[in-house]
Amino acid sequence: MTTFAELGLAPDILRALDEMGYATPTPIQEQVIPLALKGGDILGAAQTGTGKTAAFALPLIQRLLPFANSGTSPAKHPIRALILTPTRELAIQVEESVKAYTRHVPLRSLVVYGGVNINTQIPILKTGIEILVATPGRLLDHVQNKTLMLNQVNTLVLDEADRMLDMGFMPDLKRIVALLPTQRVNMMFSATFPEEIRKLADSILNTPTFIEVARNETAVTVTQVMHPVHHERKRQLLAHLIKSRDLRQVLVFTGTKLGCNRLANELNKAGIHADAIHGDKTQQERIKALDAFKAGTMRVLVATDVAARGIDIEALPYVVNYDLPHNAEDYVHRIGRTGRAGALGEAISLVSESETRYLKDIEKLIGSPLEPVIVPGFEPGAADVPAYESRPPRPDRHAERPERLDRPERRERSAPRPRPAPRDALFDAPYEQSSAPSVASAPTLVRQPPKKQVAALFRSPVKPDTAES
């Protein structure tokens, strides 16, 4: 197994990595670092969670070592490396990583992003910094204000380029690149490569080496589980899972900002401390929510894809797809936030009938089906406790669970299984008509066949999963 030292990194950087507990390089680091140390341009296909930040930051830092100095004059600290990210959260996290990797070398870094008072960033810029992490809009504000100069930049990194494209940053990017010296090293990372990204790469990169870390591979340490459920019962099911399995640090993805707010409110009403982050929240609100979530004082963070982009929380244990993403690659991005760097994680998807088409795309992309686990009391096809006509007897939840040889990693984790919901309502939501049936009452209920034709998944002979006692 390759070591960081074998990749050619300097002792001061190795010391920082050692202190951070990075024992061996990840595949993308192994490939990118030696090439980038030589100063070659790189086009990387890698998503968050693969260790791509260190892959571009470590060689960038090493190549700046000859410029590292403790001088006090700002002129001794011109911006030499520029790292652009689509979101403020990602910018903050990248800069935190850069700070950690440079803890033993006198290189200065700063992050600038919009949504906060620009005047707070100016004094630090004036003191001089070598590594600037920025979102494109705020960087251009500084350029316009003449509060920073980019004429000595020798390294450019574009992180999550496809997201920058999605968020409409392409014109800003082009303006920024035009301000940089032409002699420089370029590294561009993207999870997807639509036509516009390829064109951007052509225009920015100089005969790059293409490095790919299989984008359809989800981390092996992530257990993926899918609960088929009626869409109106998702909130109850989520609260039920969180409470009965005592889940903590749960990152929940919703499709809309409205849904995001609503879900956080309802979880709070159900006694589960939650907050929402999305594009309409102020930067202060987002940072506050993220900090509380990271510190473990807030149990659930509900987020939209854009707001959650790049969120990096050490060993995040649970990611929930409350709404399935419409784009299969977003699924991989989302669940990439758990099970990182060897930590165990679980990705839980709540799937309603109308989402089965997205499910198929996801399964195609990841190359395997997601195991459906029906939570007793939350069977799909039933919005609330229904007027059942016929129902197969519920399995005895105390009976021994059958061997499931197909998912060894799940068994090894021995994560507690979903349990039937308690009788008391999980939400105070006005539309909530009834609580989930208890185990005791269940056998007397009979199932009503779904009124309309349902997708194969919802008809499939999946057995309800029994709760493990």
Q: How far apart are CA 93 and CA 311, in angstroms?
A: 7
300-303: strand order across its sheet:
222-228, 345-351, 318-321, 250-253, 300-303, 274-277
Of 264 and 303, CB closest to ligand AMP:
303
The beta-strand segments (E) located in 180-253 are: 185-190, 209-212, 222-228, 250-253
Output the smallest distance, CB 30 to ligand AMP, in A.
9
Between 21 and 66, name the residue whose CB sits nearer to ligand AMP: 21
DSSP 374: B
Residues within the interface to ligand AMP (CB under 6 A): 22, 25-26, 29, 48-54, 312, 314, 340-341
- Contact indicator for 375, 230 with CB cutoff of 8 Å: no
CA-CA distance, 151 to 422, in Å (whole number)? 64
Minimum distance from residue 290 beta carbon to ligand AMP (Å): 14
> Largest Cα–Cα distance of the chain, in whole Å?
81
Q: How far is the CB of 212 from ligand AMP (least distance, A)?
A: 15
Q: Which stretch of DSSP H or E encloses residue 101?
A: helix 88-101
For the CB of residue 40, give the shortest distance to ligand AMP in the complex, in Å: 20
Residue 214 tokens read as: 């299989």
Shortest distance, position 445 Cβ to ligand AMP, whole Å: 46
**Closer by beta carbon to ligand AMP, 314 or else 406:** 314
Tally: H helices and E strands in the chain: 17, 13
CA-angle at 402, arms to 397 and 406, nearest 5°: 130
Q: Which is nearer to ligand AMP, 48 or 62 (CB)?
A: 48
CB of 341 to ligand AMP, least distance (A): 3
Nearer to ligand AMP, 50 or 218 (CB): 50
Residues 376/244, Cβ–Cβ less than 8 Å? no
Q: Which two tokens stand for residue 265?
A: 């409110």
Measured from the CB atom, the residue of 108 and 309 that comes closer to ligand AMP is 309
Tokens 């950690």, residue?
100
CA atoms 118, 91, 191, 223: torsion sign = negative
Q: Name the residue nearer to ligand AMP (CB basis): 31 or 48.
A: 48
371 vs 57, 78, 105, 459, CA distance in Å?
Answer: 37, 53, 48, 14
CB of 31 vs ligand AMP, minimal distance in Å: 13
Place of tokens 């010391």: 15
Q: Considering the complex, what minimum distance in angstroms separates the CB of residue 225 from ligand AMP?
A: 22
Minimum distance from residue 34 beta carbon to ligand AMP (Å):
15
Hunting for tokens 């709540």 — which residue is that? 350
State in angstroms the smallest separation of the CB of 293 from ligand AMP: 15
Give residue for tokens 């490569």: 193
Q: Is 96 exposed, middle or buried (0-12, 13-18, 19+ CB in 10 A)?
A: middle
Residue closer to ligand AMP (CB basis): 125 or 188: 188
User: Residue 25 or residue 381: which is nearer to ligand AMP going by CB?
Assistant: 25
Residue closer to ligand AMP by CB (options 19, 280) is 19
Residues 34/4, Cβ–Cβ less than 8 Å: no
Whether the CB-CB separation of 270 and 427 falls below 8 Å is answered with: yes
Whole-number Å distance between alpha carbons of 382 and 379: 6
Nearer to ligand AMP by C-beta: 53 or 466? 53
Beta bridge partners of 226: 349, 372
- In the complex, the smallest distance separating the C-beta of residue 428 from ligand AMP, rounded to whole angstroms, is 37
